[in-house]
Amino acid sequence: MDRRETLNEMLRHWQQIELRVAIYAYGEECFLISATTGTAEAGAPIKLQFTAADSDLGHAIYDLLLQCYAHPKDAADGSLKNWAVFAASGAKTGKAFESKCTYVTAKTINTAIVVEAIRRSPPSDTYVGQQLSITGAPAVLGSAVKKLVATLRLLDSQDAL
- What pLDDT is attached to residue 52? 97
Q: What DSSP line would sit under 137-152, residue for residue?
A: -HHHHHHHHHHHHHHH
Length of the chain as a residue count:
161
d(CA 122, CA 143): 26
Backbone angle region of 78, left / alpha / beta, with phi > 0 → left and psi within -120 to 50 → alpha? left
Q: In the predicted model, what is the mean pLDDT of residues 13-24?
A: 78
Whether residue 74 contacts residue 15, with contact meaning beta carbons closer than 8 Å, is answered with no
Q: Is the pLDDT of residue 58 over 70?
A: yes
Closest CA relative to residue 143, chosen from 22, 67, 59: 59
123-141, pLDDT tens digit by residue? 676 779 999 998 899 999 9
76-100, pLDDT tens digit by residue? 556 677 788 888 888 888 888 888 8
